[in-house]
Amino acid sequence: MPRTVFAADLGGTKLATALLTTKGKFLARKTETVDKSSTMAPVEQICRMAREVSGRTKIHAAGVAVPGLVRRNRTVWAPNLPGWERVPLENLLRKRLQATVQVESDRNAAVLGETWQGAARGKSDVVVLVVGTGIGAGILSGGEVLRGAHELSGCAGWMVVSEANGDEVRRHGSLEAFACGPALVRAAVSSIEAGLGGKLASLPTKELTAEAIARLAREHDPLARQIFQRMGKLLGLAVANLISLFDPEVVIVSGGMIAAADLFFETLTETALARCQPLAAQQVQIKLSRLGNGANLLGAARLALTAGRRGQSSTINRHS
Amino acid sequence: MPRTVFAADLGGTKLATALLTTKGKFLARKTETVDKSSTMAPVEQICRMAREVSGRTKIHAAGVAVPGLVRRNRTVWAPNLPGWERVPLENLLRKRLQATVQVESDRNAAVLGETWQGAARGKSDVVVLVVGTGIGAGILSGGEVLRGAHELSGCAGWMVVSEANGDEVRRHGSLEAFACGPALVRAAVSSIEAGLGGKLASLPTKELTAEAIARLAREHDPLARQIFQRMGKLLGLAVANLISLFDPEVVIVSGGMIAAADLFFETLTETALARCQPLAAQQVQIKLSRLGNGANLLGAARLALTAGRRGQSSTINRHS
């Protein structure tokens, strides 16, 4: 059995790669902006970075997390990558890397990573709610990744927790319209347009980012704080639903937005525990991810390492 | 292998029992009001009814659906039955019936019944939403019953789909507070108290039942229709969430309230498909149960019949 594994986390914007030991220790790590110049460009980029992070080490096994859907026939649909309708990524990489390759959706990789090395270590009923530019959930139930009939499970960004409706809701889903990074900016713009902007209104439009709103909130700007509180409440209602439906041992909140967790996580937790099924509330833990961007890489690595033992390990998915 | 199986569906109010063939055909069927005179009374009642429906046929296998939680240690918690905190129902019945006995929660029995003989026949990704006095969901994912860490999965009555809050929400859960049978009556009472009752206000209070509201709605009473439309919308949002999270092949709506499906099912379906993840919406079916009360009996029977083959059949649960 090889002592190292190559992992890649292909996002809509960044491509993170790493060489890891079989125990999940990072030996080398490299991140670049995704090359979107053609459909094949990200594939070649993964291969080049694999050579770069592995150096003289021969790659025997590789795992790749992708920002979309991995079909049962192993083709990938990734709406944020040009031309990625049906990319046979696993086959393409297998030939190029001369290694066994596993491809998995990023949210499933996240839950496998958290279960292997993160805040859900050793657990078998786990939900990872990823909140960043978008919102999705990776779900482990009874030790198995929950996939759904068409690999579309865990579309938590579409969860309805409020009757509010509108264009954004129809385009991105109810929760994602109000509770991810871009939603914070939209909420700020609405407030400014309504003449409520205060300090926010003094920011040039192009500087109106989630980070800038967070900075003002930490400076006790009431409107900026309120925008984060609102996000915390809506995410809390979503986590309540995840607890009532999945009865997990632990819910892990991860993704880019947790850089601002100090501004919404307490509200999220209080709301979730107050509104979910009460017996489940007594037993569930709600935690922030400690792995950061590493969760997807670890999950992809874990998949690659356990691929040969499918059917033995309880966290291995059923691919047909 | 025996040719018949005994099944019981123990509810909070009624106890249904049946003798079935191994192919799911009902040979005899009997329903009584549950004897709640003592903790043991329903157990003895099941045994007596087993003798009555089976006649001279020896019972080899029995399956029982219960209105509550079946713990991993096989004890039952059923809040609507007096003293049912930790009733070792499986053991008690095994000794009395001298047969193999399987006990399962009613919502899990419902999804097993629908998958065996109902609108989800042969499917492996199925959600059954039971809407009656309360609301719950039985969930099959990848051919396995979804149980959660503490057998508390599928508590759909606690799902938040609206930010409305209040005593009923905290007591029964958000969806159950607004969208089950008793919720219709509460909505009618509120409307009457607000002076909007119309024909509803002319009913004596004790005749203000879900059935009476349905009758008025069918006579085109605007307020009664509106109450059912509201229920259809909230249930539709809940079904949208179930589709976005579980990506099932089919969602089946069942339970006592489907007797009034003509008044809310169209709204439910339209709302669900408009608000769930769009790719999942294109592929899912939303159906009414055709099995009625029989689903739980069939599911219990199925469990009893497949108990000896655990680990072989994909619809068999993991009991530890």
CA angle at residue B264 from B186 to B250, to 5 degrees? 120
Average pLDDT of the residues of chain B:
92
For the residues B15-43, what does the mean pLDDT come to?
Answer: 97
**What does the alpha-carbon distance between residue B211 and residue A240 come to, in Å, rounded to a whole number?**
32
Q: Which of A77, A247, A250, A267 to mutate to test the interface with B (most CBs of B within 10 A)?
A: A247
pLDDT of residue A197: 79
Q: Which of B107, B160, B247 to mutate to test the interface with A (most CBs of A within 10 A)?
A: B160
Residues on chain B touching A159 (C-beta within 8 angstroms): 241, 244-245
CB proximity list for B90: less than 8 A, separation 6 or greater: B74, B101, B102, B103
Contact assignment for A152 to B276 by CB distance below 8 Å: no
**What does the alpha-carbon distance between residue A286 and residue A252 come to, in Å, rounded to a whole number?**
6
CB-based burial, B2-15: b 16+ in 10 Å, e otherwise: eebbbbbbbbbeeb
pLDDT of residue A172: 84
The per-residue pLDDT for range A107-129, each reduced to its tens digit, is 999 999 999 999 999 999 999 99
What would the two tokens of residue A165 be?
Answer: 């409706």
Residue B241 Cα, gap to closest chain A Cα (Å)? 5
What would the two tokens of residue A90 be?
Answer: 């696993």
| Cα-only R_g, chain B | 20
In sign, the C-alpha dihedral spanning B292, B297, B302, B303 is positive
CB-based burial, B188-219: b 16+ in 10 Å, e otherwise: beebbeeeebeebeebeeeebebebbbebbee
What would the two tokens of residue A303 be?
Answer: 């998949």
pTM to 2 decimal places:
0.93
pLDDT of residue B65: 97
Residues on chain A touching B173 (C-beta within 8 angstroms): 244, 277
Q: Which of B71, B153, B167, B170 to mutate to test the interface with A (most CBs of A within 10 A)?
A: B153
Contact assignment for B279 to A150 by CB distance below 8 Å: yes
The per-residue pLDDT for range B178-194, each reduced to its tens digit, is 998 899 999 999 988 88
The answer to whether residues A19 and A28 touch, using CB atoms and an 8 Å cutoff, is yes
The answer to whether residues A275 and A85 touch, using CB atoms and an 8 Å cutoff, is no
Residues on chain B touching A158 (C-beta within 8 angstroms): 240-241, 244, 275-277
Contact assignment for A160 to B245 by CB distance below 8 Å: no
DSSP state of A257: G
Contact assignment for B156 to A244 by CB distance below 8 Å: yes
Domains, chain A, ordered by start: 4-112+293-309 (3.30.420.40), 123-288 (3.30.420.40)
Residues on chain A touching B232 (C-beta within 8 angstroms): none
The per-residue pLDDT for range B249-302, each reduced to its tens digit, is 999 999 989 999 999 999 999 999 999 999 999 999 999 999 988 999 999 999
Predicted complex ipTM: 0.93
What stretches in chain A show pLDDT beneath 50?
310-320
- Residue B149, classified by CB atoms within 10 Å of its CB into exposed (0-12), middle (13-18) or buried (19+), is buried
Parallel, antiparallel or unpaired: strands A61-66 and A4-10: parallel
Residues on chain A touching B277 (C-beta within 8 angstroms): 152, 155, 158, 173
Q: Is the pLDDT of residue B316 over 70?
A: no
Q: Is the pLDDT of residue B320 over 50?
A: no
Residue B102 Cα, gap to closest chain A Cα (Å)? 20
Closest-approach residue (CA) in chain B for A272:
B160
Task: Write the residue in B148, B163, B247 that is nearest to A248 by C-beta.
Answer: B148
Q: Is the pLDDT of residue B315 over 60?
A: no
pLDDT of residue B309: 55
CB atoms within 10 A of CB A14: 12
Task: Write the residue in B149, B160, B277 that is nearest to A161 by C-beta.
Answer: B160
For the residues B51-67, what does the mean pLDDT come to?
Answer: 95
Contact assignment for B141 to A154 by CB distance below 8 Å: no
Residue A293 exposure: Cα atoms within 13 Å on the Cβ side: 15
**What does the alpha-carbon distance between residue B152 and residue A274 come to, in Å, rounded to a whole number?**
16
Q: For chain A, what is the largest distance between any 2 Cα atoms, rounded to a whole number of angstroms?
A: 64
**What does the alpha-carbon distance between residue B9 and residue B105 come to, in Å, rounded to a whole number?**
10
Residues on chain B touching A152 (C-beta within 8 angstroms): 247, 277, 279-280
Q: Is the pLDDT of residue B311 over 70?
A: no
Contact assignment for B159 to A244 by CB distance below 8 Å: yes
Closest-approach residue (CA) in chain B for A250:
B149
Identify the helix (H) or strand (E) that includes residue A249: none
Contact assignment for B155 to A275 by CB distance below 8 Å: no
pLDDT of residue A94: 97
Q: Which of A147, A152, A176, A285 to mutate to test the interface with B (most CBs of B within 10 A)?
A: A152
What would the two tokens of residue B128 be?
Answer: 């059954």
What would the two tokens of residue B205 be?
Answer: 């209070």
Closest-approach residue (CA) in chain A for B159:
A241
Task: Write the residue in B160, B162, B280 that is nearest to A150 by C-beta.
Answer: B280
Contact assignment for B283 to A150 by CB distance below 8 Å: yes
Residue A150 Cα, gap to closest chain B Cα (Å)? 7
Q: Is the pLDDT of residue B177 over 80?
A: yes
- 3-class SS letters over chain B: CCCEEEEEEECCCEEEEEEEECCCCEEEEEEEECCCCCCCHHHHHHHHHHHHHHCCCCCCEEEEEECCEECCCCCEECCCCCCCCCECHHHHHHHHHCCEEEEEEHHHHHHHHHHHHCCCCCCCCEEEEEECCCEEEEEEECCEECCCCCCCCCCHHHCCCCCCCCHHHHHHCHHHHHHCHHHHHHHHHHHHHCCCCHHHHHCCHHHCCHHHHHHHHHCCCHHHHHHHHHHHHHHHHHHHHHHHHHCCCEEEEECHHHHHHHHCHHHHHHHHHHHCCHHHHHHCEEEECCCCCHHHHHHHHHHHHHHHHECCECCCCCCC
The per-residue pLDDT for range A151-207, each reduced to its tens digit, is 999 999 999 998 888 888 888 888 999 998 899 999 999 988 888 878 888 888 889
**What does the alpha-carbon distance between residue B221 and residue B202 come to, in Å, rounded to a whole number?**
12
Residue B192 CA to chain centroid, in angstroms? Answer: 30
Q: Percent of chain A having pLDDT more than 70?
A: 95
Residues on chain B touching A240 (C-beta within 8 angstroms): 158, 160
What would the two tokens of residue A54 be?
Answer: 């592995």
Nearest to A132 by CA among A241, A14, A279: A14
Contact assignment for A280 to B152 by CB distance below 8 Å: yes
Parallel, antiparallel or unpaired: strands B4-10 and B14-21: antiparallel
Closest-approach residue (CA) in chain A for B281:
A152
Closest-approach residue (CA) in chain B for A320:
B142
Give the Å distances, CA to CA, from A87 to A12, A115, B39: 15, 28, 60
Beta bridge partners of A141: A144
**What does the alpha-carbon distance between residue A123 and residue A145 come to, in Å, rounded to a whole number?**
12
For the residues B197-208, what does the mean pLDDT come to?
Answer: 87
Residue A98 Cα, gap to closest chain B Cα (Å)? 32
Residues on chain A touching B237 (C-beta within 8 angstroms): 160, 163
Q: Which residue bears the tokens 């859900």?
A: A120
What would the two tokens of residue A269 be?
Answer: 């937790």
